[in-house]
Structure 1
Amino acid sequence: MTTDSHSAGRADLRGNDDRVVGLTRLVIGLVQGVALYLLFRTTQGERGATWSSLHPEAFTPMVLVALFLPPVLLAGVGRLRWLTLGVWGVVAAAALAFLGWHDIARQAGEAGREATSPLFAFSAAALFIAHHLIVPADRERKLIASYPAYFDAAWMAGVQLALSIAFAGAFWLLLFLGAALFKVIGLTFLGDLINQTWFSFPLTGLAFATAVHLTDVRDGLIRGVRTIALMLLSWLLLVLTVLVAGFLLALPFTGLDGLWETGNATALVLAAAGGMIILINAAYQDGRPDNLPPAVLRVAVRVAAVLVTPLIGIAVWGLSLRIGQHGLTPDRIIASACALVGAAYALGYGLGALVPFFRKGSPWMKALETTNIAAAVLVVGVILALFTPIADPARLSVNDQMARLENGKVAPDRFDYRFLKFGSGKLGQAALARLVASDDPETARRAREASKAEYPYEIDPVEPAFTPVVEAWPADRPLPPTFTAPFTGPGVLKGCEKRGDCLATLRDLNGDGAPEILLASSAGLFLFAADVNGGWTEEGSYMVLRCPGEDTEPDARQLMRSGSLEPRTAAWPDLDTGGRFTSSLTNTAPCRRAEAAPAR
């Protein structure tokens, strides 16, 4: 496959001269703009009484189709045979409509149902991938095309999409500039016109379609832009590889506790793996022997391909820990799906990097090509499963949470009734109705209370026990275990999430013979005293005042480490204001210095 495969593919489509293709694209862009305008009109009116809110099962599929089908048709005209384009357009429209309908149909209630944000992002991703699996296959008349054809089609389309969006944005900036110029001389017609939705929607569709056609006609220029973008991205792989390698090498010495304490470790690690996969492909490009990257990049690609595996392993480990502790949720199911796709990449890329060491003469990273094609099919399948009844995250989560309650893994007073009522649609409310009839009195009572709630805040949230991370100062005086024990609910200790956030010392501040705990954090100084139940109660806080000439508030943690925190008798007594509260006089001159007595 030569570098001109894109142009050759277009030339093979008889009857698709540039004028016909250009006119067809303009018509598609205009129709998209008009369709989006008409859909926008259905959202106007009294809140809750508009057509879009009364008929969300129809509105959401229409929005998905109007948003995403035209770009597919714009990209397919001139590249796909007309029959293939027609069949693919019908299939894509039907799939988008079904995804939109299911997203609304699974939600509970009659009012307030709206499309969820992940639906748009994942639908767009699945459509982009599926389209660029079809285009090369149709061009080469094969079920599975050559890898260079897939690479050429996908990366060219990515550059064209970015440039077309930028063109449409620049077009509108120029319109606003022109309107401002006319307004200076007293003419407001252009400003009034572009503020009309009946004008702005179709015009935006035409601008985007024009950009798609212009970038397609001058595909040599686009190919040059793509080459530059790939070159820059490929060298960024060196940076990311060094960073990830350093991170993984440091883990045996630091442990994973700090990573889990972030609360979003899985998302961070998956994002790093995803970025590495993209940069590996930017360096590998189409895999042709005459297009090999420099030797240093080839080494970086092999190292990065191996490093993807431990990243995915850490993500899977973190997910398994969270699921084992708290069960399935929709977010964890989507994260698990991303980890599954990442595992497919890790396996294929790892084999591609290691096989040549055992099989001499094997092409460099050849397994990457098969992996990318198989993973692309897997991604489309996973997205379709997640947003259809096949693997609906709400259904899987409700079933898992109910099973945890029934087998005793979670107590009735720790069960998340709010999730069933407001976070899992019709399936969750049906499960909540079953719990109302439960034989367990506590479960039935809480389920009844949850079922009567109209808003989420009416149901007390179930928070996982929080374990504060507090460093003892000095280190040879450990803190009581009861102070750093897991707890639920609010409190100053909620700010002690990771090592270094909080510092605490045992001190007898009031001279009663019993030590108190002084906690220093970025928020200030806080005093804790032992209570009759063996726990610790927050008694109040101290103000750390800034001296004149200082730009920032002093850090209480630094003051504690420096030994500057010493109790002293108050210069002025507290005042009891009628038994309502007791106040202390704040020293308004915290930085007084001794001065020499004036000479007499």
Structure 2
Amino acid sequence: MNDTIEDHAPETHSDWPLRPWALAALLGLAGLGIHLIGEWGSDSWVPWRAALSAAVAFGALAFAFTLDRDRWKQPLAFAAIVALVMAGIAWRVASAGDHHADEPFWLAAGVVAIALALPLFQAGFHRLRWRTPYRQTHFHVWADAISAGGAVAFTGLSWLLLILLSTLFSAIEIDLLKDLVNEGWFGWTFSGAAFGAALGVLRNQLKIIGTLQSVVMLVFSIIAVPLAIALAIFIVAVLASGISVLWNATESPTPLLLSVAVASFILVNAVVRNGDAEASENRILRWAALVLALAILPLALLAAISTGTRISEYGLSPERLWGIVAVAVAVAYGLAYFVAPIRGGLTGWMERVRSANMHLAVGTCAIAFILALPLFDFGAISARNQVARLEAGKVAVDKFDFDALRWDFGDAGREVLEALASDDNAEIARLAAKARARDKRVYRPQRDHNRDQRLANLRFGFDAPDLREDVTDLVRVAVWHCNKPCVALDLGEDDDGRRRIALVENGNVQWEVLPAEGAPEPAHMIENPQPEQNADSQVEIREWSGRRIYIDGKPAGTPFE
């Protein structure tokens, strides 16, 4: 390696003996603040508490990663911006309640934007713009990852040691450490301080981090060879067998394909490194990296086809819209990496890849930040798409997922469901009204190829038309019922006025309870009573008479009366 670590480190960086202590104090106080502000254990947070907790956590971490002895004003400004952005996102997430359906993705988008902005800021992108040296940006990406990983490992080891010591002292009836470990404020403070101390030590040792980078990238570059061979075989097999073989092998090929694309991206950069002087000279590794670079685009396109197929079959949902964003980013990287050897040739393609990395990182950071803002309502977009599919006849009324509008698309979905409950089509209005009335989510699989057969297997032991309709709706969404010939029996009402139904299938009996308005609740078995028993309890055999289910004259299931 011809370059030294100083070639990549910022000019203002210097070893700072007090850094571990300063970062331990900073993150220790941040941990204590998060404990005092947060509502841990609560299902929902007050927005201002969520915002302040996010500001303290992310702002302190951003400051810890960028702070230097002689350079604190710009890092403080950057940390303040990070705190403000994440506070706003956390406020929005905490305020969302059930009004929106994709709030976890807002937070994830914010974290992605901050994670990409951090090495760009450390490399001076805010001052140099596109003149920012790639080697510095690439160095900081790996340095931050190694520093964070090392600090997390040290924090875990510190906790193991603390628990060991607390147990040791507890053995001689000194419970101070044991009591402290059980205190929430201490756990947050100790974790923050341990993480900060380890981070400070690692940030003081950039030369060691640079060596670790070289070792990690060397190991990754070796892994690139078998992955390149495997991907080449995979792509040839898909082309020869047809893309349908992939759909038949897994229900969710998109995450798998994107994961392999990300792995290929990492391994390519492990070979490419900071510059031509550092790139591996091994021809096998270079060819493996080239194969992986070319494979990212086919993988991304297969993921795009998979996502498009799923959307064509089931329509849009907030999760699928976020999936479209992820696939679009993957396709952009894949296209850039595919074009690099074409434009740069076998000698200059690595430099093209480095240039693409810088531009795509900035673009991805901007996209993630924009998507974290309240500019798009993916729930409303999805709800409109689903209703359009229903109105266009692309999905049958009895196969339309009205429950998704009730639970998965936020207020926009419920507004659409409300409108459908007044639709001129009586069947649409009935099913929409039933979904609107439910107070529990009835989950159905995206692929239920046996539903028509399950409904055909269903027989009724009663004549009430409304009850038959309710049971049919139940079996339609409950894939565990009527996979073989089954019979529905009316067991009458319980003490709360809810209808009890027995579904008898293959000799087994399952009880369903329908609320008074007819909307199905999750299935549950009627359990045998279990009275308390003590040493003086009288246990005896008594005569009993009641009702139970019989199949061909033989008892089945538990007596229900």
**Structure 1-normalised TM-score?**
0.71
**CA drift at 1:180:** 1.7
The question of whether the paired residues in 2 share the 8 Å contact of 1:330 and 1:394 is answered with yes
Q: Does 1:91 align with 2:71?
A: no
Q: Which moved more, 1:17-26 or 1:273-282?
A: 17-26
Give the AA of the match of 1:180. T
CA RMSD of aligned residues (A): 3.3
Structure 2 gap ranges (5+): 452-475, 487-503, 508-547, 556-561
The question of whether the paired residues in 1 share the 8 Å contact of 2:102 and 2:319 is answered with no
Q: Does 1:280 align with 2:268?
A: yes
Number of the residue aligned with 2:381: 396
Q: Matches of 1:156 and 1:195 in 2, distance apart?
A: 34
**CA drift at 1:383:** 2.3
Number of the residue aligned with 2:429: 444
The question of whether the paired residues in 2 share the 8 Å contact of 1:22 and 1:213 is answered with yes
Give the AA of the match of 1:182. F
Aligned ranges for residues 535-554 of structure 1 at < 5 Å? none
**Aligned-partner SS, 2:348:** coil
**CA drift at 1:28:** 1.8
Number of the residue aligned with 1:59: 49
The question of whether the paired residues in 2 share the 8 Å contact of 1:100 and 1:115 is answered with no
Q: Matches of 1:114 and 1:38 in 2, distance apart?
A: 29
Number of the residue aligned with 2:116: 129
**CA drift at 1:252:** 3.3
The question of whether the paired residues in 2 share the 8 Å contact of 1:79 and 1:139 is answered with no
**Aligned-partner SS, 2:251:** coil
Q: Which moved more, 1:439-448 or 1:244-253?
A: 439-448
What is the percent sequence identity of the aligned residues? Answer: 24
**CA drift at 1:128:** 1.2
**Aligned-partner SS, 2:274:** coil
Q: Which moved more, 1:70-79 or 1:202-211?
A: 70-79
Counterpart selection for 2:35 from 28, 32, 37: 37
The question of whether the paired residues in 2 share the 8 Å contact of 1:385 and 1:391 is answered with no
The question of whether the paired residues in 2 share the 8 Å contact of 1:80 and 1:135 is answered with no
String of CA shifts for 1:278-326, please: whole Å, max 9, x gaps.
1111111112335434111111111111111111111111111111111
**Aligned-partner SS, 2:423:** coil
Aligned ranges for residues 200-211 of structure 1 at < 5 Å? 200-211=187-198
Q: Does 1:373 align with 2:358?
A: yes
**Structure 2-normalised TM-score?**
0.76
Q: Does 1:581 align with 2:555?
A: no
Q: Matches of 1:80 and 1:319 in 2, distance apart?
A: 50
The question of whether the paired residues in 2 share the 8 Å contact of 1:463 and 1:489 is answered with no
Q: Does 1:102 align with 2:85?
A: no
Number of the residue aligned with 1:186: 173
**CA drift at 1:337:** 1.0
**CA drift at 1:259:** 1.4
Number of the residue aligned with 2:4: 3
Structure 1 gap ranges (5+): 469-486, 495-525, 529-537, 542-576, 585-600
Aligned ranges for residues 183-582 of structure 1 at < 5 Å? 183-261=170-248, 262-357=250-345, 363-457=348-442, 461=444, 463-466=446-449, 490=479, 580-581=551-552
Give the AA of the match of 2:33. A
The question of whether the paired residues in 1 share the 8 Å contact of 2:482 and 2:505 is answered with no
Aligned ranges for residues 97-176 of structure 1 at < 5 Å? 97-108=87-98, 117-137=104-124, 141-176=128-163
Q: Matches of 2:27 and 2:231 in 1, distance apart?
A: 43
String of CA shifts for 1:180-227, please: whole Å, max 9, x gaps.
221222322211122111222111111111011100112222222221
Q: Matches of 1:101 and 1:57 in 2, distance apart?
A: 5
Label 1:188 to 1:340 Cα distance change in 2 as closer, same or farther (>3 A).
same
Q: Matches of 2:327 and 2:549 in 1, distance apart?
A: 63
Label 1:129 to 1:80 Cα distance change in 2 as closer, same or farther (>3 A).
farther
The question of whether the paired residues in 1 share the 8 Å contact of 2:405 and 2:417 is answered with yes
Structure showing greater radius of gyration is: 1
Q: Matches of 1:463 and 1:217 in 2, distance apart?
A: 52
**CA drift at 1:490:** 3.1
**Aligned-partner SS, 1:389:** coil
Q: Which moved more, 1:25-34 or 1:201-210?
A: 25-34
**Aligned-partner SS, 1:365:** helix
Q: Matches of 1:173 and 1:58 in 2, distance apart?
A: 34
Q: Matches of 1:191 and 1:578 in 2, distance apart?
A: 56
**CA drift at 1:462:** 7.2
How many residues get paired? 472
The question of whether the paired residues in 2 share the 8 Å contact of 1:241 and 1:303 is answered with yes
The question of whether the paired residues in 2 share the 8 Å contact of 1:435 and 1:447 is answered with yes
**CA drift at 1:147:** 0.7
The question of whether the paired residues in 1 share the 8 Å contact of 2:340 and 2:353 is answered with yes
Counterpart selection for 1:70 from 39, 43, 60: 60
